[in-house]
Amino acid sequence: MNFKVVHNEALLEYELFDGDKKIGELTYVPGDGVLDLVHTGVRDEYKGQNLGALLVKEALNDIRSKGQHQIVPSCPYIPVYLRRHPEDQDLVAN
């Protein structure tokens, strides 16, 4: 399996692929200097493989590398991820 995360700015989401097959997404709503992360999902047949964490990690790495945004963790999975990865807490908007 060859997993990759791609930022699809036109659809306002980060997409998770297994080869050429889209298997997950992290959807966001842009605001004034923040990205509201509203949904994270992985196809049922891929659940239990930590792919949601991979998707969030890659999205946060991309957001951090651009240095332009903080995040609002509206999706229920994002706070769970952040508790497990406190090194990314600095991206959360006050």
Domain harbouring 54, CATH code: 3.40.630.30
Range of the domain at 82: 3-91
Q: What is the pLDDT of residues 35-93, one digit of tens each?
A: 999 999 999 999 999 999 999 999 999 999 998 789 999 999 999 999 999 999 999 99
* pTM score above 0.75: yes
pLDDT for residue 68: 75
Residues 6+ apart with CB under 8 A from 89: 82
Hey, CA dihedral for 84, 17, 68, 78, is it positive or negative? Answer: negative
Describe the chain by its helix, strand, coil percentages, rounded to 5. 40, 40, 25
Residues 6+ apart with CB under 8 A from 29: 12, 35, 36, 38
Q: What is the pLDDT of residues 28-49, one digit of tens each?
A: 999 999 999 999 999 999 999 9
What stretch of H or E contains 83?
A: helix 77-84
pLDDT for residue 44: 97
Number of domains in the chain: 1
pLDDT for residue 36: 97
